[in-house]
Structure 1
Amino acid sequence: MFSKRKYLLCTTTFAGLMAVAAPAVAQEQLPGVNVQGQSDQEATEIGEVVVTGSRIRRDPTNAPTPLIQVTREELLSTGQSTMIDYLATIPALANSLVPSDTTGSNLNDGGLSFANLRSLGTGRTLTLVDGRRHVGAAEGSLAVDVDAIPRLLVENIEIVTGGASSVYGADAVSGVLNFILRKDFEGLEIDANYGMINQEGQANKRISALAGVNLFDDRLNLYGFAEIEDIDEVGSMDIDWMRDGRGFVNLDADPTSARNDGNLDSMVIGGGVRSLSRPRWGQTTLANSQQPSPLNDPDVPLTNCVTTGTVINTSGNCYSLDPTRTYVYEGTTARLANFGQRLGNTGANRTLNIGGDGDPVALFGQESRVPQSNSARYQVGANFAVRDNMMLRAEYKLIEEDTFDVSQPTFYDFFLDDAQYAANQVSTATATNSFGLRYSDTAFLPANVRAAIATNTITNYTTNANTPGTPLAPVARAWARHSMFGPQRTQDNHREIERYVISLNGDIDQLGFISNIAWDLGYTAGEARNRNIERGTDNQRFNLAADAYVDVAGIVNGRPGEIVCRSRFIQASGGAPADSFRGGLLTDTAEGSAALAACVPLNIFGAGNQSQAALDYIDASITVSHVNQQEQAVAAVSGQLWDFFGAGPIGVAIGGEYRHESTEGIGRSTGTGNRSLFLNTGADFAFAEYESEEVFAELSIPLFRDTWLGEYAELSGSYRYFDYTTAGEGEVYGVNLVYRPIRDIAFKSSFNTSFRAPNLTENFRPNTQTFANGFVDPCATLVIAGQSATIRANRIANCTALAAAQGFTFDFAGATSTNTDDFNPTYTSGIAGVTGGNPLLSPETSESFTFSTVLQPRFIPNLSIVFDYYEIQINDVIAAVSAQQLSNNCVSGPTLNANACATLVRLNPAIPFGFGNVAGHPTGAFIQGSTNFASLQTRGLDFSATYSVDMEEVFGLNLGRFDYRVGGLWLLEQKQFLDSANAANFVENASNVFFPRVRLTSSLTWSPNDVWSVNWSVDWQAAQHNANLRLRDLVAANNADARPYDTYDTGDFARHDFTVRWNAADNLSVRFGVVNAFDIEPAAYLGTATTPNFDPYGTRFFIGLNYRPF
């Protein structure tokens, strides 16, 4: 934490000393400075402009805040497929949301692109267009879809990397992206690009056109823009290294009391890995128990299948994959599965193999990695000079975008046995996606599997210290489990954005004692409409259809021997089929009656055996629509006052702002109705809104110019008062100091307070279903053993107390010589819960400090070096804390965290003390509500350098011109304080995956003449750790043999891109190049995961042109 009092005291003391000395030798003009693309010249020739970060006109070289600029040329020349993909290569914008991040389990966000400064969250980065607000694209959010801003219209992008709420209002916590658009364009410009987005050939195709004309002696400018862009879908199997299949395999399990035996516990398998866990349309495993290994080498733990009673046991302990008991399907026949080269030596249920049956591991998760997208973007505008010093501007924009992506398929478990059914009973539902099914007469089950189930026995074991487990007497149990992936889940998203802007601005040379007045009145309105068709399955219909029966007598349809739904057979036989989802009878509800009447039998045993009629019957979808609306009115005026110190006039700006935000979403509740769907269900988003009224002011005071203290210094400040109908009143401020001791060096320092009001989703989103995927139970004995000594002790005590409250006793410490009393649950799928908003949220507040050094040495022309140090701390952070973090918080502190524990449920019907809830419970296992918690802190150093040299001018060699640019980020810390009950509990993300300690981009351009140029760009980042697998932590936990040492981090990563530009004519330029020229792939230990900072798409090529016929 840093002290604002310390920074303010240093800043104001220094400013005061310089102000006292300033009048001594003050001059009237600021001597020349090097501005990019300009030679030395007097300040009056440079002129004064408004630069992002302030509303006061000033020399741009004296801008008070750190600023990164991106030009249109850079955006158009890059081989990256979208604008946000390019911006995300800037280290300060790493972890921005790119289109490939919007596939999988995310809803209603297909293809969206959100900037994320300092990796503090997309909601904490304010995106402006010409200094004005833009409507947010996601439901209830203010985050702006960056790719909805036409790139051909962009003049440049100015990025302020520090808090700026006192200047621009809420959301500018980590900084501002301001897209400056071209003004008064005249002529016609066409830009087209074809670029591969994956080395298998998937591509982005775009054509853009901008036309403008000046009329009435150039007083009126009219322009129009149009763009069409198509992006192909990239699936998991389209990416070569992902298709090959790779990942970690467990080799050795150690006793928790002695975890380092010198044998590697796991290793990376480089390719060809397949999974038999849950293939498309399933595998069937007979109930069994696996023989445990010796207790002193617990590779295979004791996982006996409890056979008490005749009711089927649905515990995962009973259905470990087994080469003698696991069946797969070919056509309508079944055979024992081919396990190929079975991988791993640990655990009772070993699901991975090389060769043989099963699906590639890349297909176990989501299928789409980049969504298919078709976009049309249009914008028209007018600029009219009402008077010589008054300009009226108006613009209208329309964006239409359709995206499609495929997430993880639906997944179901069927437990096959006969003992639990009455004569006329239909298949039961043990959970929304887990059903019982008769094996003896289910129609599509191959005869050999039916016979194997009927004669199945289960052999349980005792454990021995030094030898494998001793078998007990076998028990006959005709049980089996059919585990499967079913039909795909897809999202078909249509998005429209409209935006209107009208403004009137002008200049007044003098009004009373105020000179150089600039004023602006502006009104902006925007609307984002989204319609998402979410497609999955109807769980009840799936259950009814899977319960297929041979109608020997033809009672249902008069066709003897026909396969029908058992429910229809029971009804036709005079029975009353029960409704296992709603209770009562199927005929009690319209949905149940419709499902019964239309039922079509479904063959669930093996891919390709499903009729289209059955697939149509179980298909389900909901159409969810939402709309965001925004209005903003701003009035601002700036000018210059007196020159007290002879250093230049005091600058001042004042203004006011009104803003209205609203959102509404319908279709989720009404579309679901009284059905049980394999989709994210929940209530509709009722209309919600807020208004804000704000006033702001800025003041800049030049302290001296050309004195013995230096060439120039300026102290400036900003202030904003706000009043939100939801978040209440507040105020923020900023203080900046610019000091240039000599023309070659400038120092800039700033301290800013900022705020972020809760957005409408965080405040008012209704509870909707979500899933905790890849959940790691913090009470698992093996997980506890890998923690620091303090957390280990806390978790042992807290987990023991939690378990005791439910009547369970486990060895959480791993203190005994046996692993049989340990708690090591296996969660085979995502854990269901709910997430929602919180109307009682408070605004986030933040403090940021920056210190910059700018070097432009005269003795090395065309060299510029910038260092920007920053610190940002955000308090009362608003977030829906994940189920994983909640569960960690519950047990990691000195005592149980009552608030976190209260949001969690450990009533898993298949895992004693496991996370989960009874079937059909509306909240599931956890509640992720938005809350104010703890804080975020980040600290780092941005650095950049540019250098240009004309070889003939400098060395007399006719080799053309070289331009070099490098920019980077040294991340000193990125702390997340996620536990409000324990202020000392934080996660240090710096150097973890997503947060490289150092990342830099470099660009070298050689222009041998005015016709050709060649660019070589490198995106380099330092090695990153898996957050849970740092070598030092495993050594501390006496588990240094957990994996090979070279797999504890990703290794350094560098992507090389090359671009060639050919200026074929004065009005035509052609560009072509290659991205990831050396086909660098992400680290193997990341498995099939994709992270935005590691380019996963291999070597790819692009070509584009820019043509201006007139």
Structure 2
Amino acid sequence: MFNNKVSKAVRLAIAFGAASTAALASTAVSAEENTETEEVERIQVTGSKIKRIAATAPTPVVVIGRVELEDAGVSNVNDFLSEMPAAEVGLSPENSNNYIYANGLNTTDLRGLGSSRTLVLVNGRRFIGGSAGDNAVDLNNIATSMIERIEISTGGASAVYGADAVAGVVNIITRTSFDGLEIDAATTRPFEGGGEQTFASLVFGKEFDGGGFIFNYDFADQKQMAKRDKSWWYDNPVSSVPNPNNTGGDDGIPARIPYEGKKHYALYDESSEFFLGGDHWTFDENRNLRPFDNGDGYIPSDPTSSLYRYYAGEYKDGIEEGADEFFRTPLTRHTFNIAGNYEINENHTLSFDTVYSLSEAFGQSTPVFWRSLNIRKDNAFVKDDLRQLMEENEVESITMRRLANDFGPRKYNQERSTFRTSVGLDGFINDNWSYSTYFQHGRLQQDTSWFGEVITENFENALDAVMLNGNIVCANRNDEGEVVGAISGCTPINVMGAPGQHSQDTIDYITTVATAQHGGTQTSFGATVTGDLFELPAGPVGSAFSFEWRRDSAYEEPGTGIRKGLIFGNSGLAYSGSLNVKEYSTEIILPLVVDHEWAQELNLELAYRYMDYSSTGGDSAYKVGLTYQLNDDIRFRATMAESVRAPNIEELYSAAGTQFYGTRFDQCAADTIQNTDEKYRANVIKNCAAAGIPEGWRPSQEWTDGGSIEGKLGGNNTLQNEVSSDVVFGFVYTPTAIEGFDITVDYWSFEIENAIENYNYRELAENCYRADSLDNPFCGFITRGDNFEVVDFFQTSLNAAEEKKSGVDIESVYDFETSIGEFGVKLTATYVENYEINQTGNPIDLLVNTGEQDHMRWRARLNTSYEYGDFRAVLVTNYRHSAVNDRNGWNIEQHDYNDIPSYTTFDLSMNYRVLENVDLRFGIQNMFDRTPPRHPLAFEDTSWYDPIGRRATFGVNIKL
């Protein structure tokens, strides 16, 4: 009977994912060869700390082995995880170019519930977060060549592993020892444009009686890929424009329509531009006045869209579309690992692992935009043609706009260094009880430098250039505007004409390198004892008791220019914060039935964890699971759990920094109220009146035309824990009549209350005045002046939202042998049944976003393999279902392109062992060069679609 249980467990290996297939296979062989009286080694399953004979976990676990990673040809584990249907990209070099402090990070996101709700472990232990103050792990720090396997457990993991495991756990198991030398090198070359990648690794180790060690070095270099590197984007981009046929908000005609082709923004020219006398002006290469050139003219647009100024065709004046923008930010990383284990005696083993990682990412954005450069008629650089134009129009000054390419694009360099070491002691207390202890410490430092930044005051001083005593100087004016002298140390600048004509003294006076340093530490200790408590008729009662202590700290230290608010668009304060937590957990497995006519096995699992946070106080999580083995072919499983996520240091304690909201908006303005959804209008009218704002009030034209609204962004130390109710149930079918085949189907559901969301200015304003009363969490973060106009806001995180997401996971594997080779098919798919979010908790604000692009119905991955002798080939198909952009608020009045088509790519890889210790591999990713859908809302989306295109990978692996 005992051997029968083990053999069934092995057949369920992929379905339950207790460990890699290879590990379970070795267990099976030993079981079959031994007698029934001999013990079979128990193993630990991700999702539980109880060691068990086989994969009987009630929570689904997906296992990714080394072979799958090698077949995919990836140099970063996140590149693989992002293609798993149950996971999404959190941050990556493809979508983080404009995230200054997060540029180049690689984080994963289970269920699309957020990287902060996905707990990433390394060998079952926490790893320091990739960004200061955030717990999301940067997968750049995990050397691909060190990975033995990856186990993904979704749902119900918080009771076992603590906070942050709301969506589940990604447990990366690394090699603990190695005997020999392994060298691996690979390169990936896109068929068009940038984005080349180079990867190399060295693994060296030695195994000896009672222990062993392993050393590893990984190097990965990923080149940048600009938007203009890709002809599919540059030659014929897709966007949208206001519809010139639109006559109003109820005519049934879309306000926007798709537009194919190049377009360029006819404002903010690098030579400066302005309107005067009914004409649009700029300057030629000799700084003489000339008419602005917008080619064949403006793209026809909605006549009510007065600020819409794009023209079609080749670039003339203004801003060239896509200039200085990346599809992929460049990233270079070095990772060093050393790990080992030593058997003190037959009952106790000491192990350690240490990693040091250094990564450097480079981001870039457009040069500084100046929207209101005031040029007086007495400016020394004003030439006669401009002075005459000003006199003809009877103005003493003009306001110009300029794309300040004088100082180049704003570039920011992000350097991160991560150190983490862990020591563990594992062993047996007696024949029944075992223990596991560890201590780990991690440290992160990230240094950010911004180049091409402008010191605002110096620029404004240099802009006001006048002739004084025969010299051009920076004007020192009195209160009446009269020139009374020159500003000492200031070097004037001429912005009437093309850049590149400034002296080095001028550039040095105006520009600076802004800096900021972030960092943090994580220290933790944990101990677990596991064993059988007592015997029931159906078997022993298994248990695990754990204690964990952890302290996280983080700090931010901006440079002087940022702290003092001297740099254009950047200001912020230093902060430091920390939190610690003590956690106590218990797991119990109760065998209820065994070898009964209606059940081969029936087990009940219980888990409870109590957490005591210095920041949010005490909280708890629990899990109740049931596994039911009906017969040799089918097993049912179910889990009900409550999980928590504690706010991280960044959300709690980050200092206030400058934040801009791009467009002027006031919920209480008369025209805004008129256009507000009818279901909110009565509340808005009532609440605006309660705030003392007169009926029919409108902000001044000066406020309306004031550009971006300036406010603050920072932490909220009153945040509390999120709470999630999780349900998972499903079945595993492994028919004995079909060898090598199994299928698992699991339904999952998450309901998150007190969800932590970050709210920008518009969301704060809408949520404040659309609520039933002003007594709500949002109003306190908006400040109005004496004339009721908004003068400040504070963007922060609040426990105000609710989220619900549910769906079905399907995984099926079929491996079979033929006379011409071995074939394998593995299908993994996720169906989203429902996704709801309510950002305020008020029933009227419920949004059902199921089937939208961020929560598409189906995602699937089909892995088909063929192996014959020393040759192996794998074809991977990745599928994303068709979607809509907006399921809730969209109507034809807005636009006519709500539907987004499905998207499928194919990757082929081949491996051939040319010598006993030499493997060559070749692959083509995105074989048919599938570009993002030609759709205005998907064309540049690099989270869901592949912007790199067809690319070839060549690699070699040598083992000595």
Conservation of the 8 A alpha-carbon contact between 1:655 and 1:697: yes
Please state if 1:170 is matched with 2:163: yes
Query: Could you tell me how far apart the structure 2 residues matched to 1:764 and 1:170 are?
Result: 18
Of 193, 201, 221, the match for 2:194: 201
Counterpart in 1 of 2:882? 1023
Counterpart in 2 of 1:613? 505
Counterpart in 1 of 2:17? none
1:1104/1:757 CA distance change after superposition, 3 Å:
same
Gaps of 5+ in 1: 1-24, 289-323, 415-434, 457-475, 556-562, 578-585, 587-595, 811-820, 918-924, 953-957
Counterpart in 2 of 1:996? 856
Please state if 1:232 is matched with 2:223: yes
Please state if 1:505 is matched with 2:426: yes
Query: Could you tell me how far apart the structure 1 residues matched to 2:852 and 2:112 are?
Result: 13
Query: Could you tell me how far apart the structure 2 residues matched to 1:141 and 1:1088 are?
Result: 30
Of 330, 333, 355, the match for 1:375: 333
Conservation of the 8 A alpha-carbon contact between 1:256 and 1:785: no
Conservation of the 8 A alpha-carbon contact between 1:286 and 1:481: no
1:1097/1:281 CA distance change after superposition, 3 Å:
farther
Of 466, 479, 488, the match for 1:549: 466
After TM superposition, give the deviation of residue 649 of structure 1 in Å.
1.5
After TM superposition, give the deviation of residue 569 of structure 1 in Å.
13
Query: Could you tell me how far apart the structure 2 residues matched to 1:615 and 1:1093 are?
Result: 41
Please state if 1:1034 is matched with 2:869: no
Please state if 1:345 is matched with 2:345: no
Conservation of the 8 A alpha-carbon contact between 1:1029 and 1:1048: no
Of 341, 358, 370, the match for 2:317: 358
Conservation of the 8 A alpha-carbon contact between 1:327 and 1:449: no
Query: Could you tell me how far apart the structure 1 residues matched to 2:625 and 2:612 are?
Result: 25
Of 981, 984, 994, the match for 2:844: 984
TM, length-normalised to structure 2: 0.90
1:765/1:568 CA distance change after superposition, 3 Å:
same
Query: Could you tell me how far apart the structure 1 residues matched to 2:319 and 2:953 are?
Result: 30
Of 334, 341, 348, the match for 2:289: 334
Please state if 1:1011 is matched with 2:902: no
1:336/1:220 CA distance change after superposition, 3 Å:
same
* Structure 2 residue identity aligned to 1:659: R
Conservation of the 8 A alpha-carbon contact between 1:538 and 1:675: no
Query: Could you tell me how far apart the structure 2 residues matched to 1:278 and 1:725 are?
Result: 50
SS of structure 2 residue aligned to 1:101: coil
Counterpart in 2 of 1:603? 495
SS of structure 1 residue aligned to 2:638: strand
Query: Could you tell me how far apart the structure 2 residues matched to 1:742 and 1:129 are?
Result: 35
Counterpart in 2 of 1:284? 274
1:403/1:822 CA distance change after superposition, 3 Å:
closer
**More displaced stretch, 145-154 vs 674-683:** 674-683
SS of structure 2 residue aligned to 1:542: helix
Gaps of 5+ in 2: 15-20, 33-39
Query: Could you tell me how far apart the structure 2 residues matched to 1:146 and 1:630 are?
Result: 17
**More displaced stretch, 143-152 vs 674-683:** 674-683
- 1:655-734 equivalences in 2 (<5 Å): 655-668=546-559, 670-672=560-562, 674=564, 676-686=566-576, 688-734=577-623
Query: Could you tell me how far apart the structure 2 residues matched to 1:823 and 1:869 are?
Result: 55
Deviations 1:159-217 (A, max 9, x none): 111131211111111111111111221111112221136830331211111100123xx
SS of structure 2 residue aligned to 1:672: helix
After TM superposition, give the deviation of residue 905 of structure 1 in Å.
4.8
Counterpart in 1 of 2:241? 249
1:699/1:612 CA distance change after superposition, 3 Å:
same
After TM superposition, give the deviation of residue 794 of structure 1 in Å.
4.9
After TM superposition, give the deviation of residue 101 of structure 1 in Å.
2.5
Counterpart in 2 of 1:950? 817
SS of structure 1 residue aligned to 2:390: helix
After TM superposition, give the deviation of residue 30 of structure 1 in Å.
5.8
Of 943, 947, 953, the match for 1:1102: 953
Counterpart in 2 of 1:275? 265
After TM superposition, give the deviation of residue 857 of structure 1 in Å.
1.6
SS of structure 2 residue aligned to 1:606: coil
Counterpart in 2 of 1:1061? 911
Conservation of the 8 A alpha-carbon contact between 1:771 and 1:833: yes
* Structure 1 residue identity aligned to 2:598: L
* Structure 1 residue identity aligned to 2:913: N
- 1:391-430 equivalences in 2 (<5 Å): 391-414=349-372
After TM superposition, give the deviation of residue 639 of structure 1 in Å.
1.0
* Structure 2 residue identity aligned to 1:482: M
Conservation of the 8 A alpha-carbon contact between 2:608 and 2:623: yes
Conservation of the 8 A alpha-carbon contact between 1:397 and 1:498: yes
Conservation of the 8 A alpha-carbon contact between 2:132 and 2:650: yes
Of 385, 390, 402, the match for 1:453: 390
Of 779, 795, 801, the match for 1:934: 801
After TM superposition, give the deviation of residue 726 of structure 1 in Å.
1.6
After TM superposition, give the deviation of residue 384 of structure 1 in Å.
0.7
* Structure 1 residue identity aligned to 2:292: A
Please state if 1:743 is matched with 2:632: yes
Of 639, 648, 658, the match for 1:759: 648
SS of structure 2 residue aligned to 1:972: strand
Query: Could you tell me how far apart the structure 2 residues matched to 1:830 and 1:961 are?
Result: 62
Conservation of the 8 A alpha-carbon contact between 1:48 and 1:60: yes
**More displaced stretch, 191-200 vs 744-753:** 191-200
Counterpart in 1 of 2:928? 1078
After TM superposition, give the deviation of residue 130 of structure 1 in Å.
0.6
After TM superposition, give the deviation of residue 673 of structure 1 in Å.
5.2
* Structure 2 residue identity aligned to 1:501: S
Query: Could you tell me how far apart the structure 1 residues matched to 2:726 and 2:813 are?
Result: 27
After TM superposition, give the deviation of residue 222 of structure 1 in Å.
2.1
Please state if 1:389 is matched with 2:356: no
TM, length-normalised to structure 1: 0.78
Conservation of the 8 A alpha-carbon contact between 1:84 and 1:146: yes
Conservation of the 8 A alpha-carbon contact between 2:109 and 2:118: yes
- 1:608-1007 equivalences in 2 (<5 Å): 608-645=500-537, 647-668=538-559, 670-672=560-562, 674=564, 676-686=566-576, 688-773=577-662, 789-791=678-680, 794=683, 797=685, 801=689, 805=693, 808-809=696-697, 830-895=708-773, 899-905=777-783, 917=791, 925-952=792-819, 958=820, 960-980=821-841, 982-1007=842-867
**More displaced stretch, 602-611 vs 746-755:** 602-611
Conservation of the 8 A alpha-carbon contact between 1:139 and 1:626: yes
Query: Could you tell me how far apart the structure 1 residues matched to 2:864 and 2:708 are?
Result: 47
After TM superposition, give the deviation of residue 777 of structure 1 in Å.
6.5
- Answer with 1 or 2: which has the greater Rg: 1
After TM superposition, give the deviation of residue 765 of structure 1 in Å.
0.9
- Please report the RMSD computed on the Cα atoms of aligned residues, expressed in angstroms: 3.2
Of 896, 899, 912, the match for 1:1049: 899
Conservation of the 8 A alpha-carbon contact between 1:602 and 1:615: no
Query: Could you tell me how far apart the structure 2 residues matched to 1:779 and 1:1010 are?
Result: 73
* Structure 1 residue identity aligned to 2:554: T
Query: Could you tell me how far apart the structure 2 residues matched to 1:125 and 1:567 are?
Result: 57
Higher percent of residues as strand: 2
After TM superposition, give the deviation of residue 898 of structure 1 in Å.
5.3
**More displaced stretch, 501-510 vs 240-249:** 240-249
Counterpart in 1 of 2:36? none
After TM superposition, give the deviation of residue 269 of structure 1 in Å.
1.5
1:602/1:614 CA distance change after superposition, 3 Å:
farther
* Structure 2 residue identity aligned to 1:929: T
SS of structure 1 residue aligned to 2:160: helix
Deviations 1:105-140 (A, max 9, x none): x23222111221111111111111111111112121
SS of structure 2 residue aligned to 1:597: coil
* Structure 2 residue identity aligned to 1:210: V
**More displaced stretch, 198-207 vs 237-246:** 237-246
SS of structure 1 residue aligned to 2:42: coil
